[in-house]
Amino acid sequence: MFTHFMSNPFGFAFSLIFFLNCTAGRTFGDETSRPNVLMIFIDDLRPSLGCYNDAIAKTPNIDQLATTSRVFQRAYCHQAVCGPSRASILTGLLPDHTGVWHNRNLFRSTLPDLVTLPQWFKEHGYHTQSMGKVFSGDERELDPVSWSVPEILKEKGWRNYAQPKTAGEGKGEPTEQADVPDNGYPDGQLAELAIKTLQEFKEKDKPFFLAVGFFKPHLPFNAPKKYWDMYDPIQFQADAKERPTNAPDYAYPDHLELAGYRNIPKDEQVSNEQRTHLRHGYYSCVSYVDAQVGKLLDGLKSAGLDQNTIVVLLGDHGYSLGEADHWCKDTNFENDTRVPLIIRVPGRKPGPSNALIEYVDIFPTLSELANLTSPAKLDGKSFAAVLDDPQATHRRVVLSQFSRPFRAGNPEMMGYSLRTDHHRYTRWINWQSKEVLAEELYDYASPTSVTQQGPFAVEIANVVDSQDYNKLRSELREKLDETLSKRVKPVTLPEIEKSSRKKKS
């Protein structure tokens, strides 16, 4: 064939041009065919999914997505609470560089000219659109400049509770199981809106970046009754678990989220019956959201957009369901910092990866996949190579942190946490003086330090003072020093007056 073409140079040239044009039409990132991006945020979702080997979870739609995607088994958020985590994902910057250590802290107050992930795509010719909880669940923390059209957080009539008896003033009951269709709660209505939007995108001649932020399984654990009925409550019976031996008080939240709901003790020491019911509610909400994700992905396919759309599904941070005497998030423990991250890139082979990933790495990765250069001052680095090869490594350690007390403004204390292949080292410091207040060390390969509860690792003993760990402790101290020195230069926020702080916290 080659000889034939060379004997006819005009035919060879024509064939080569034809081949290159056809190839260009299938290549992500060129001028003719940049990939779309569908980014699916799921609030408070830990890896309670079948594709993460949770034998209880009933999540057929996300599990199906996983069969065509790279499933990251060891992805970690930077701060296990909504606003700071989402800020790090969407800015590519660590919390210390944006000053977003609390939901009320705004990154544009510190960095007014910062370019976010969706804004970067918008500046490169994409239509960018957001609906649901993406940057935040609060109107005060939205970011209009990131989007081509105004964000839709919630539309009129989207209510958390379907039954007045469980709602009430402020935070109502922590669970509800109304016998309503999927659109009886906001996530069902959000899925319908997103599907309608995808159909509209079908008619557009420019690539899109669509972010859809589902609200569940965040408290209250409210979902249609049919999702509660999918589970036998006996599956969720679990004894109360004590805090890890030798864990400092700093390791635990000063803000008790669950305690704010009706009929929950202020110290969150719930009864066995309540514990079972709450866990049941969480998994029911996960299955409810899974169904909405399935509808959304079906909508993407029916619009004919699935073959040129990168799909990113993630939880903004992990979550605890009473393990180690802890509910919700707000810690540096494994259950709170480890996150589900699933990415489907059309044309790339699926499969799991054990590479260590940080959430600031998503921004440069998506930029590379779309053949865009990244802004120069990002804290993340692309893991596109892991999407090509699941055996590829990415980071040797990942960094998480949490501030105390949890309030707007500057922290008083900070806990920096390094996760390696087998260990977690956490150091609590005074924010002003940098004095070390406490240390933690957990060995995930040792059953005397960490226990496995299904697919979840739960810390049971802080071994930082054990002589058996003297050498490792020294190495991890040095590694954290090195990491902070190279990667972290904390900003300082203007002081907030106590009166205004109380209103915003």
What does pTM read for this prediction?
0.92
Give the Cα separation of 424 and 436 in Å (integer): 17
- State residue 184's pLDDT score: 98
Which residue has 């299904």 as its token pair? Answer: 454
Report CA torsion sign: 46, 52, 57, 63.
Answer: positive
| Residue 334 φ/ψ, nearest 5 degrees | -60, -45
Give the Cα separation of 315 and 455 in Å (integer): 16
Please enumerate in sequence order all residues whose Cβ is within 8 A of that of 486, keeping only pairs 6 or more positions apart, or say none: none
DSSP secondary structure letters along 206-272? S-EEEEEEE-TTSSSEE--HHHHTTS-GGGG-----PPPBT--GGGS-SS-SGGGSTT--TT----H
Q: Could you tell me what percentage of the chain is helix, strand and coil, using 3-state DSSP and rounding each to the nearest 5?
A: 35, 20, 45
Domain boundaries, the chain: 32-396
- 37: enclosing H helix or E strand: strand 36-42
Q: Match domain 32-396 to its CATH number in 3.40.720.10, 3.30.1490.100, 3.40.605.10, 3.40.640.10.
A: 3.40.720.10
- State residue 496's pLDDT score: 61
152-153-156 Cα angle (round to 5): 85
- State residue 498's pLDDT score: 47
Beta bridge partners of 461: 245
Per residue of the chain (505 residues), what is the pLDDT tens digit? 333 333 344 343 333 333 333 333 334 445 447 999 999 999 999 999 999 999 999 999 999 999 999 999 999 999 999 999 999 999 999 999 999 999 999 999 999 999 999 999 999 999 999 999 999 999 999 999 999 999 999 999 999 999 988 877 779 999 999 999 999 999 999 999 999 999 999 988 899 999 999 999 999 999 999 999 999 999 999 887 899 999 999 999 999 999 999 999 999 999 999 999 999 999 999 999 999 999 999 999 999 999 999 999 999 999 999 999 999 999 999 999 999 999 999 999 999 999 999 999 999 999 999 999 999 899 999 999 999 999 999 999 999 999 999 999 999 999 999 999 999 999 999 999 999 999 999 999 999 999 999 999 999 999 999 999 999 999 999 999 999 999 999 999 997 654 444 433 3
Between the CA of residue 418 and those of 42, 310, 316, 433, what are the distances in Å? Answer: 25, 30, 19, 21
| Residue 453 φ/ψ, nearest 5 degrees | -115, 95
Give the Cα separation of 354 and 392 in Å (integer): 9
The CA-to-CA distance between both ends of the chain, in Å, stands at 72
DSSP 8-state assignment for residue 113: T
- Tell how strand 456-459 and strand 450-453 pair up: antiparallel
